[in-house]
Structure 1
Amino acid sequence: MVPISRVVVVSDDAAWQSDVLEGLDEAASRLPNSLGMVFVGANSAEATMTLIARDGEIQIVLIDNRLSEEQGAAAAVALANRINAFRPELSLYVMLVDADEKAVIEALASHAVDGYFYRDELDSHGWFRILAAELAEKSATPFYDALKHYVNMAKDSWHTPGHAGGDSLKASPWVGDFYEFVGENMLRADLSVSVPMLDSLLHPTGVIADAQALAAKAFGAQQTFFATNGTSTANKVICQTLLTPGDTVLLDRNCHKSVHHGVILSGARPIYLDSSVNRRYGLFGPVAKAKLFDAIDRHPEARVLILTSCTYDGLRYDLVPIVEHAHLHNIKVVVDEAWYGFARFHPAFRPTALESGADYVTQSTHKILSAFSQASMVHVNDPAFDAHLFRENFNMHTSTSPQYGLIASLDVARKQAAMEGYRLLDRTLKLAEELRDKINATGAFRVLELTDLLSEEVREDGIQLDPTKLTVDISASGFSADELQRELFEHFNIQVEKSTFSTLTLLLTLGTTRSKVSRLHDAMLRLAKQQRPPRQPGRLPEIPHFTQLACLPRDAFYEAGESLPLLDDEGRPNPALLGRVSCDQIVPYPPGIPVLVPGQIIDDAIITYLHRLLKAQKGVDIHGLIEKDAEYLLRVLRDEELATLPARHFGD
């Protein structure tokens, strides 16, 4: 299948533009054109912007530097900057009259322009070849291509992995079906560092380095690193790179548990910031901007600020002022953008965290683009980046036998995002709007809007909602969340992303189709027609506020401690836990926010909260508790262990 790659020639000089289009069309008919370049004209800046907003198959724009006689080069500069701000993945070339004009463009729009032609040297074949090379470079998948090439070379395997390209499986009467299920190419491509031509993820100098460089350009980073252990590992690597024992780090208490694990590993001193809470729906949002600014001002010694944007439910910070305020205090900003890695490729989602000035960004490419599970990226824009230190920490966590299929999927996911991300995301946005309207029309289900999701304390913080994440209020349907998920799964073959006591979350991606939207709408319409009486709204117990650290999380975690029952002999909260210091991270799911972290002092509100969860919320898992003989235990520091730990000031 040959793609379509549209090239726009922008000029109000109709005769010149006609000659250019005719010449490029003639070149396309005579020269190899595997990427399907076709050429169209636009006669003004506004017509160009309308065209690139409507047509996701546009890849390159050629701007006549004499676009406007009155404005001269200024008109071309302005248009180049507008295009780059709207769709930065497009390649831009400017048609010059002389070298002096190039100096003007370089001074005002060098970040946006990829190359130049001289308008009066009409070399259609030469221009065509250059544009074809530009497209080929942008659409290249160096690692994936090398992997395919190696598999096609059909080398005998005398190296790891042990299945030897699937040969140990395919003739087996016991496990031969696995060979058929997974497929020959997947198994042949499961290789190792024993194949030098495929480079090394731990020290890339070849095709992996090339693939990462293309990803950095596509996502707007100085450097990009591929991670095959998921964003969980990426977050830990960054924590260990930027933080040393005793360093202060500001972080959203609602961040992913991997960030908390990174704090333990680094030995840092965390300042936990309570997130905003929508108590009606049991949803947790961003930290209030005033709270963030106050924490930054009160802790100028902090080395790092870590935020999650967007949240699981699609809420994203107005990052620019927050990053700027942190940078005024020389605080590095790390953004966990696991759920928002596609944002660079459509203006409806921007600015991204990198565009907002973040120093480090982690993304779960597998969650929101077309990479395999566990495939993630780390993007770096830190001007003081220590590449050696980062690599040492990266290698500490990365397997020496990474799955090469994951690396290939990152290469492919980047290519798709760069070449057709705008078109696919535009389709996804339209499907999200269509699905929202259809769900609301059922009468029993309603998609929550931004105003529904925000708590009062963050309403003026400039927070935005990712429209591809739909949170559906199910309270009027008469179904509990568990019942509704079960009905959708068992009777309609539909699996949703997550739920709270009164909501379902639907995740739309590049892979969402109109057929899937239709099937989901049909299912919800049928369920709504049952006209069940509304249920009494449920409610999770309110998470208690963070108490105080008695020691560094790392210090508490690595002590042996002792295990005490959460409840006493009569099934009530155990008073022996009051004032003790937790050794572990205790995380109820949902909502996934640690109620205790290592080193934190336990109070009555925390014990009561955990007791209520265990008693009333059967669908909640509590990670970190010890389950033994039908009893829940909590590991806490012994008094003598706490006494030996370094004396530090832990008040916020």
Structure 2
Amino acid sequence: MNKPGCKVLVVGRDAVWLREAIKGLNHNAHQESGAFGLSFVPAASAADAQVAVRDDGSIQIVLIDSQDLDQPLLPFVDWLGDFRPELSLYVLLGRGEERAQVANLLGETLSGYFMRDEQDWAGWRHILQAEIAEKAATPFFDALKRYVELAKDSWHTPGHSGGDSLRGSPWVGDFYQFLGENTLRADLSVSVPMLDSLLHPAGVINDAQALAARAFGARRTYFATNGSSTANKVILQTLLAPGDTLLLDRNCHKSVHHATILSGARPVYLESTLNRRYGLFGPVPKQTILDALAAHPSARVLILTSSTYDGLCYDLAPIIAAAHECGVKVVVDEAWYGFARFHPAMRPTALECGADYVTQSTHKVLSALSQASMIHVNDPAFDAHLFRENFNMHASTSPQYSIIASLDVARKQAMMEGYTLIDRALGIARELRELIAGTGVFRVLELDDLLPAELASDAIRLDPTKLTIDISDSGYSGAELRDILLERFNIQVEKTTFNTLTLLVTIGTTRSKASRLLDALMRVARDKRTPRRPPQLPALPGLGRLVCLPRDAFYEAGEMLPLLDDDGRPNVELAGRVACDQVTPYPPGIPVWTPGQQISDEAVSYLGRVTRMQKDLELHGVEQDGDGYYVRVLRLEDEQMLKFDRNAR
């Protein structure tokens, strides 16, 4: 296993003192058998330090000589904090009264101070090494490893008893071999007190969450073991009471729509933009959001998705500021952007823009197991008790401890080498963009290609690690090319539309994988078919009038009506009825109607067209019986009982 290496950058103009300090600190570090490969490197100026911090991800701490810096201390420290917030910053002081002045200027930005004239190399090295140890700690993972090593006899759940029921079995012993001994020994239960409780953390889980909050820039962080889907539900149930108004992007993840049902909120849907050429959704226009805030002064919460599945990121700061001026809490679903904190090319994050709550699917873009997610809280009026009650309502009393450990480990890796790994991923993404264009058939779409016209002035950014490839000139559909890459070249892509493939470049992407991908695309390009005229999705109809709360419509039994009539045409009997379920065709993945909404002629016609146009269509929220689709609607007599004037608060 590779050994870690950590560097402390010592910054100062006094060449004699700097040379002596580096020599003394490194001599002391080499005498100690530290676990982090600690070494000290010099920078003779602030400009040299900036280059070093930019080029060397192994730098973990910057030690600044405040008396001998070639530029003002405050702007330099601000730059370091903005560029790489995971860095620990220490300052060398000359006089006792200087400490108060520096503390006044920099507040909590600094991790600590040393007196320059003391030249206490051993003392300084000891404190700096302890700082690295704190950042690199994995309290829960370490406790889990220790417990597994103790090899305790299990007289508690789970029933496989550390794998003993599987090991040696002639029928299922292969499952034991496949997972491995440690995986099964680490599959424990709340019967083990030393591993703390996810539902009421007071030990190692609490410590791990506190380290995550520090890493991601939150006041509090909570681990979730059943994905951001549940995390979104927990937050919205905490913030909303039945009848409260929620502003939400029409294309929010389905968990947000489920949370709307569970909370009893009254939704105001903000129309998403749609790139019809590629079947890709975009953010809600900024002006649409501002208009909705002005039109709904009683709104309690605004929830947005940034980045989108295809990598489009809002200019969040002015939107969040406007919402806060209206007294509206802002929740950002950052499921696809959880790594952004650790590289300046990806920032600012939603938390840095002022979001009150952020959900991140850590497993999507960092080194965590599937279902591993985090909830970050910066709400100054956070009700911890109410949040905990809602969290416990959704969380399992038997969480998977390996998932919790993976969150602990993913946070450590992001802190210690996230900058290096993300920088490598960005480099690979840049190279792939150029090389894929060189095939002459495939092309990675840029921001201007992806951005609907309505967003041209909204300062939208593109996450460059999400590669959306235009395959129109290949003559293949997205589904056909996906299958070719899988079956012929052993390459699995993230998603497709009728004329695009989406690939994720992650911190686990290697140049070897990139080479194999490029080789496969070049081979397919040589065998290309005659390009076909790509279909364009029909214009998405506007959402119908909200007749009753989504919760009320969803919990009615309703009745099932066919989407199409016997001749395959849109069923005219659906028009004007009230939906009980959310119906979403994929692609593009935007709901055509949601519970409680009146179904329009245009919506029924739209579904009829897309089901005819797209043979590989997934239609969520319907029941399929043979070749026919059926949708659930309120019975007419129930509509009168549930309409809004009977739900007045």
Pick the TM interval, shorter chain.
Answer: over 0.9
Q: Which residue of the partner structure matches residue 487 of structure 1? A: 484
Within 5 Å, which residues of 2 pair with 1:518-537? 518-537=515-534
Is the contact made by 1:67 and 1:76 (CA closer than 8 Å) also made in structure 2? Answer: no
CA–CA distance in 2 between the matches of 1:68 and 1:51? 16
Structure 1 residue 646: deviation in Å?
Answer: 5.2
Structure 1 unmatched runs, 5+: none
Is the counterpart of residue 51 in structure 1 residue 52 in structure 2? yes
CA contact (8 A) 1:551 1:645 kept: yes
Kept in 2: contact 1:309–1:317 (CA 8 A) = yes
- Assess, with a 3 A threshold, how the Cα gap between structure 1 residues 223 and 473 changes in structure 2: closer, same or farther: same
Q: Give the count of matched residue pairs.
A: 647
Q: Which amino acid aligns with 1:14?
A: A
Per-residue deviation, residues 177-216 of structure 1 (Å, max 9, x unmatched): 0000010000000001000000000000000000000000
CA distance in 1: counterparts of 2:430 and 2:395, whole angstroms: 40
Q: 2:461 aligns with which of 441, 461, 464?
A: 464
**Partner residue of 1:594?**
591
CA distance in 2, matches of 1:647, 1:311: 33
Give the match for residue 546 of structure 2.
549
- Give, in whole Å, the separation in 2 of the partners of 1:603 and 1:548: 9
Q: Is residue 110 of structure 2 the alignment partner of residue 109 of structure 1?
A: no
Kindly state the Cα deviation for residue 630 of structure 1 after the two structures are TM-superposed: 4.1
The one-letter amino acid of 2:198's match is: L
Q: What TM-score do the two structures reach when normalised by structure 1?
A: 0.98
Aligned residue in 2 for 1:269: 266
Separation (CA, whole Å) in 2 of partners of 1:613 and 1:162: 48
Match of 1:623 among 596, 620, 624: 620
| SS of match in other structure, 2:10 | strand
* Counterpart selection for 1:370 from 363, 367, 371: 367
Deviation digits for residues 628-647 of structure 1 (CA, Å, limit 9, x no counterpart):
35432211111221211253
Residues 276 and 286, structure 1, Cα contact 8 Å, conserved in 2: yes
Unaligned runs of 5+ in 2: none
Residue 21 of structure 1 corresponds to which residue in structure 2?
22
Give yes or no for contact 1:9–1:61 (8 Å, CA) kept in 2. yes
Would the aligned equivalents of 2:163 and 2:176 in 1 still touch at CA under 8 Å? yes
Equivalent pair of 1:563/1:635 in contact (CA under 8 Å): yes
**Residue pairs, 1:136-215, within 5 angstroms:** 136-215=133-212
Give distance in 2, aligned partners of 1:570 and 1:454: 38
Contact 2:218–2:377 (CA<8 Å) still a contact in 1? yes
TM-superposed CA distance for 1:649, in Å, is 9.9
Name the counterpart of 1:505.
Answer: 502
Please show how residues 109-508 of structure 1 align to structure 2 within 5 Å.
109-508=106-505
| 1:597-608 equivalences in 2 (<5 Å) | 597-608=594-605
Q: Matched residues in 1 for 2:104 and 2:558: separation? A: 63
* Alpha-carbon contact 2:339-2:414 (below 8 Å) kept: yes
Shift of 1:585: 0.9
- 8 Å CA contact 2:277, 2:537 repeated in 1: no
- The one-letter code of the counterpart of 2:73 is A
Amino acid of the residue matched to residue 490 of structure 1?
A: E
SS at match of 2:440: coil
* Percent of residue pairs identical: 64
Measure, in 2, the Cα distance between the counterparts of 1:518 and 1:581: 52
d(CA) in 2 for partners of 1:638, 1:479 = 44
Listed one character per residue, the Cα deviations across residues 96-121 of structure 1 (whole Å, up to 9, x for unaligned) are: 11232222222222232101100011
Q: For 2:559, which of 558, 562, 584 is the aligned residue?
A: 562
Structure 2 residue 34 is the aligned partner of structure 1 residue 37: no
Preserved CA contact (<8 Å) 1:501 1:539: no
The amino acid that maps onto 1:103 is A
Deviation at residue 26 of structure 1 after TM alignment:
1.3
Contact 1:590 1:621 in 2 (8 A): yes
Q: Please, which of 71, 95, 98 is the counterpart of residue 95 of structure 2? A: 98
Contact 1:44 1:67 in 2 (8 A): no
Would you say the 8 A contact 1:66–1:76 is kept in 2? Answer: no
Superposed CA deviations along residues 309-354 of structure 1, whole A, max 9, x for unmatched, are: 0000000000000000000001000000000000000000000000
Task: State the AA in 2 paired with 1:32.
Answer: S
Looking at structure 1, the residues matched to 122 and 73 of structure 2 have their Cα atoms a distance apart, in angstroms, of 24
Label 1:308 to 1:465 Cα distance change in 2 as closer, same or farther (>3 A). same
Q: Distance in 1 between matches of 2:487 and 2:566?
A: 41
* Paired amino acid for 1:77: L
Bigger shift: 253-262 or 627-636?
627-636
> After superposition, what is the alpha-carbon deviation per residue over 1:294-315, rounded to whole angstroms, capped at 9, x for unaligned?
1111112110000000000000
Specify the alignment match of 1:5 in structure 2.
6
Of the structure 1 ranges 366-375 and 76-85, higher mean CA displacement relative to structure 2 is found in: 76-85
What is the RMSD of the two structures over their aligned residues, measured on CA atoms?
1.3
Distance 1:549 1:650, change over 3 A: farther
Note closer, same or farther for the CA distance 1:256–1:447 as it changes in structure 2 (3 Å cut). Answer: same
SS at match of 2:345: helix
Q: TM-score, normalised by structure 2?
A: 0.98
Please list, as runs of the form range in 1=range in 2, the aligned pairs for 1:61-100 lying within 5 A after superposition.
61-68=62-69, 75-100=72-97
